[in-house]
């Protein structure tokens, strides 16, 4: 079998690349280790930045999102027993879209397969990439039905297989910059409405707590915990008592209790693979860089990569002169935004976690950072720009 592009992974990055290729009539195949049902149900992100929605729209991929997503224009910090609302919408005229990742993946998958005639092979096993530094790369996998190894020859490979994928390992070693926060987050999904219409950040000496609305029925919560903690240490009553305590503030309604349908511990870390390409293999999304969910940036970066990679591959494969300047500049163009978002996440992490470090000095500086947002219009504007990802040039 031979196609122009093999896309490894059917997450937001891979499906966006696939859609861009199919719209331009480029032949491609997407390989995915999970089943269709699994990827359409996998709950993760929910916050999509305005520029990303605009870019999806330009590529014909935002129909459902625009009609169904909620718009958020503020977040609220709770600290020292007070609540302070940060109205970035008023400040900038911009907003966030709240659209759960499974809904976006479902939209992208339908469009790719049913409308644009794309192929996804689900449930494949033991995916391997070959000869990426030659002009005849290929990808092989075990077919779950026949048990045989199938080989797909191609011109380019898009490595969109996420943090646990295989394509990153095919790049030469020693290219990964890593940062460990040394903390854990208990990541929760509750079958309950949010207690407030916006994102809440609880800054507390016993650890950070966050509320991220997802829909009127489901709300995501986070609780800082030791790294490697066992979710079994967090029974229902302990979770809700801790959320109530860490999110408490004068005049604030308590979190609305509900059944916990997800409970996982995330060891908070970041990494960046630099450069994001080698020969004919181009990484996109979490395969190339992980950003801890501190500032809700991961899916936005995955989409940014996918727009650039999809467009660059189309320019190379479709135009008569085979323009490869965009492919050559791909990694650098992505990494400018990646490093900017990583830096913002680190900055915000200190605000969230500094006061729980048990060091009075870090508590003092973290709270100073926070107060500055409400005292200085310039600091507020800078924060809003980074939180919304609206800077024009990276």
Task: Give the helix ranges, DSSP H, for the chain.
Answer: 12-23, 36-41, 50-58, 63-68, 88-92, 101-110, 167-170, 236-246, 298-318, 325-328, 330-353, 360-375, 377-388
Residues 205-234, mask of contacts with ligand RFL (x by CB under 6 A): ------------------------------
Q: Any contact of residue 384 with ligand RFL (CB under 6 A)?
A: no
Q: Which of 285, 310, 354, 355 binds ligand RFL (CB under 6 A)?
A: 285
Which residues have C-beta within 8 Å of that of residue 31, sequence separation ≥ 6? 6, 7, 8, 9, 10, 120, 121, 124, 127, 139, 141, 152
Interface segment toward ligand RFL; rule CB under 6 A; list 39-47, 61-69, 193-201, 240-248: 39-47
Q: Any contact of residue 345 with ligand RFL (CB under 6 A)?
A: no
Q: Any contact of residue 302 with ligand RFL (CB under 6 A)?
A: yes
Q: Any contact of residue 33 with ligand RFL (CB under 6 A)?
A: yes
Q: How far apart are CA 281 and CA 301, in angstroms?
A: 18
Please state the closest distance from residue 232 (CB atom) to ligand RFL, in A: 18
**Contact call for residues 2 and 153 (beta carbons, < 8 A):** yes
Residues 96 to 115 in contact with ligand RFL, rule: CB under 6 A = 101
Q: How far apart are CA 340 and CA 41, in angstroms?
A: 30
For ligand RFL, which is the closer residue by CB, 245 or 264?
264
Residues 44-83, mask of contacts with ligand RFL (x by CB under 6 A): xxxx------------------------------------
Q: Are strands 75-79 and 199-202 parallel, antiparallel or unpaired?
A: parallel
Please state the closest distance from residue 124 (CB atom) to ligand RFL, in A: 6
Please state the closest distance from residue 22 (CB atom) to ligand RFL, in A: 17
Q: Any contact of residue 39 with ligand RFL (CB under 6 A)?
A: yes
**Contact call for residues 201 and 208 (beta carbons, < 8 A):** yes
Q: How far apart are CA 177 and CA 211, in angstroms?
A: 30
**Closest Cα to residue 202, out of 79, 324, 34, 334?**
79
Q: Which residues bind ligand RFL (CB under 6 A)?
A: 8-14, 31-34, 39, 44-47, 101, 127, 160-162, 164-166, 187, 266, 285-286, 293, 296-300, 302
């Amino acid at each position: 079998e031979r196609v122009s592009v093999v896309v490894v992974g059917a997450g937001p990055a891979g499906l966006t690349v696939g859609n861009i290729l199919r719209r331009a009539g480029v032949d491609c195949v997407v390989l995915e280790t999970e089943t269709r049902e699994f990827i359409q149900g996998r709950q993760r992100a929910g916050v999509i930045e305005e520029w990303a929605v605009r870019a999806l729209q330009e590529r014909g991929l935002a129909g459902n999102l625009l009609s169904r997503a909620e718009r958020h224009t503020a977040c609220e910090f709770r600290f020292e027993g007070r609540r302070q609302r940060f109205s970035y919408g008023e400040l900038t005229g911009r907003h966030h879209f709240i659209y759960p990742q499974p809904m976006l993946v479902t939209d992208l998958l339908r469009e790719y397969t049913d409308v644009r005639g794309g192929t996804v092979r689900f449930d494949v096993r033991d995916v391997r990439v070959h000869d990426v530094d030659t002009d005849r790369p290929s990808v092989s996998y075990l077919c779950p039905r026949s048990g045989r190894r199938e080989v797909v020859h191609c011109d380019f490979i898009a490595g969109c297989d996420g943090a646990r994928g295989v394509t990153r390992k095919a790049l030469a070693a020693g290219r990964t910059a890593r940062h460990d926060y040394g903390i854990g987050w208990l990541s929760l999904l509750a079958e309950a409405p949010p207690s407030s219409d916006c994102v809440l950040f609880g800054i507390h000496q016993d650890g950070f707590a966050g509320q991220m609305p997802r829909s009127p029925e489901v709300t995501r919560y986070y609780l800082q915990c030791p790294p490697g903690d066992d979710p079994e240490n967090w029974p229902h009553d302990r979770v809700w008592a801790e959320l109530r305590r860490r999110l408490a503030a004068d005049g604030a309604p308590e979190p609305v209790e509900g059944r916990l349908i997800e409970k996982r511990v995330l060891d908070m870390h970041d990494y960046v693979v630099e450069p994001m390409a080698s020969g004919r293999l181009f990484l996109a999304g979490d395969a190339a860089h992980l950003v801890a969910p501190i500032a809700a940036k991961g899916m936005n970066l995955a989409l940014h990569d996918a727009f650039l990679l999809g467009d660059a591959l189309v320019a190379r494969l479709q135009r008569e002169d085979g323009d490869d300047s965009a492919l050559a500049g791909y990694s650098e163009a992505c990494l400018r935004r990646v490093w900017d978002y990583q830096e913002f996440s680190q900055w915000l992490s200190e605000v969230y976690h500094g006061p729980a470090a048990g060091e009075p000095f870090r508590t003092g500086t973290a709270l100073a950072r926070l107060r500055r947002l409400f005292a200085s219009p310039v600091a507020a504007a800078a924060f809003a720009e980074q939180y919304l990802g609206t800077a024009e040039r990276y």
